[in-house]
């Protein structure tokens, strides 16, 4: 299912439940966004307030969770290995509301569930969400680490999810692009790769600022996300060109139908 990241045909997977596929094929059935989540979901030990967006952790038997595990499998087969150069992946998309934080948060969960020591970094220094999704806080974060704080003080373990740690965005800087452009960012990622098997990064909308391009450049690898019926084709084409011009390895494209 994973092909070269060309716009027309390539994708890692279509993140849509089987029920939604059947509804799409049958015009008499209203196409649901996905099978409804059972509420409440499974609580995480020590973290009862984690968001329902953590489908892979809180609703492990839901079709969405299975699709996320299938995405993990595709990445394991076609991209991931233990070499440091292949251990960092950013998620990128042109606009807001396309599911970057949801997708990368759940990818971090499913990788940690198979014993991969995973660090999730919220590199969106404009409108970060991961600290709310996981309901964790830290006195420091990426912004502080980029300013010189030891990264050990910027990372917190995620309660209830063994082998998963989070580096939240921290206090938002006045000039995120300048902070992300510092050589210190490369040092932070190098140190993270020495302590973790996999480093995943969330990014801001690429069409609204140049932060995402710098983040993906530092990560070396990026996965492009497009949301069905929302992401513009011309914006996706431009983003793919920008990534390739920067020398970023595009590992594939995810079509998000949620």
The CATH number for 84's domain is 3.40.50.300
Contact 173, 206 (CB under 8 A): no
* pLDDT-derived band at 194, boundaries 50, 70, 90: very high
User: Above 80 in pLDDT, residue 43?
Assistant: no
User: Above 90 in pLDDT, residue 30?
Assistant: no
User: Which residues of 69-214 form beta strands (DSSP E)?
Assistant: 88-92, 118-122, 156-157, 164-167, 198-202
Query: Is 30 a member of any domain?
Result: no
Decide: residue 93, CB within 10 A, 0-12 exposed, 13-18 middle, 19+ buried. Answer: buried
Query: Is 1 a member of any domain?
Result: no
Q: What per-residue confidence (pLDDT) applies to 84?
A: 56
Listed residue (194, 193, 200, 190) closest to 167, CA to CA: 200
Query: Is 39 a member of any domain?
Result: no
Query: For residue 96, what are the contacts with CB-CB under 8 A and spacing of at least 6?
Result: 127, 205, 208
Token readout for 136 is: 């964790």
pLDDT in tens, 225-242: 988 777 788 888 888 999
Q: What per-residue confidence (pLDDT) applies to 41?
A: 64
Looking at the 3D structure of the chain, how many domains does it have? Answer: 1
Query: Is 148 a member of any domain?
Result: yes
Q: Which residues pair with 199 in a beta bridge?
A: 88, 119
Q: 2-35 burial, b for 16+ CB within 10 Å, e for fewer?
A: beebeeeebbbbebbbeebeebeeeeeeebeebe
CA distances from 231 to 6, 78, 98, 160, 237 (A): 15, 25, 7, 34, 11
Per-residue pLDDT, averaged over 13-37, amounts to 40
**Between 7 and 201, whose confidence is greater?**
201
**Between 199 and 42, whose confidence is greater?**
199
Q: What per-residue confidence (pLDDT) applies to 16?
A: 40
d(CA 122, CA 204): 9
Query: Is 7 a member of any domain?
Result: no
- At 165 the three-state DSSP class reads strand
Query: Is 29 a member of any domain?
Result: no
Query: What is the strand order of the sheet 156-157 is part of?
Result: 13-15, 249-256, 221-227, 88-92, 198-202, 118-122, 164-167, 156-157
Domain that holds residue 115: 13-24+45-256
Contact 20, 33 (CB under 8 A): yes
Query: Is 40 a member of any domain?
Result: no
**Between 195 and 17, whose confidence is greater?**
195
pLDDT in tens, 84-107: 556 899 999 998 888 999 999 999
Query: Is 4 a member of any domain?
Result: no
Contact 51, 132 (CB under 8 A): yes
Residue 129: CB atoms within 10 Å: 18
Per-residue pLDDT, averaged over 21-48, amounts to 52
Per-residue pLDDT, averaged over 250-257, amounts to 86
Q: What per-residue confidence (pLDDT) applies to 255?
A: 86
């Amino acid at each position: 299912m994973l092909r070269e990241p060309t716009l027309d045909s390539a994708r890692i997977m279509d993140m849509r439940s089987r029920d939604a596929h059947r509804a799409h094929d049958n015009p008499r059935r209203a196409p649901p966004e996905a099978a409804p989540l059972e509420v409440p979901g499974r609580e995480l030990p020590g973290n009862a307030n984690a968001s329902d967006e953590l489908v892979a952790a809180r609703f492990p038997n839901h079709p969405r969770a299975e699709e996320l595990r299938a995405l993990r499998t595709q990445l394991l087969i076609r991209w991931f290995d233990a070499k440091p150069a292949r251990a960092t992946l950013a998620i990128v998309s042109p606009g807001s509301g396309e599911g970057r934080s949801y997708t990368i948060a759940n990818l971090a969960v499913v990788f940690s569930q198979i014993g991969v020591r995973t660090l999730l970094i919220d590199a969106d220094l404009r409108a970060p969400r991961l600290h709310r999704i996981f309901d964790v806080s830290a006195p420091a974060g990426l912004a502080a680490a980029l300013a010189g704080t030891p990264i050990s003080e910027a990372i917190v373990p995620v309660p209830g999810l063994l082998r998963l740690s989070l580096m939240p965005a921290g206090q938002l800087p006045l000039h995120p692009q300048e902070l992300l452009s510092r050589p210190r960012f490369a040092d932070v990622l190098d140190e993270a790769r020495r302590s973790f098997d996999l480093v995943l990064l969330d990014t801001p909308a690429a069409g609204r600022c140049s932060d995402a391009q710098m983040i993906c450049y530092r990560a070396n690898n990026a996965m492009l996300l497009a949301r069905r019926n929302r992401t513009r084709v011309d914006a996706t084409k431009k983003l793919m060109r920008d990534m390739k011009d920067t020398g970023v390895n595009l590992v594939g494209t995810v079509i998000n139908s949620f």
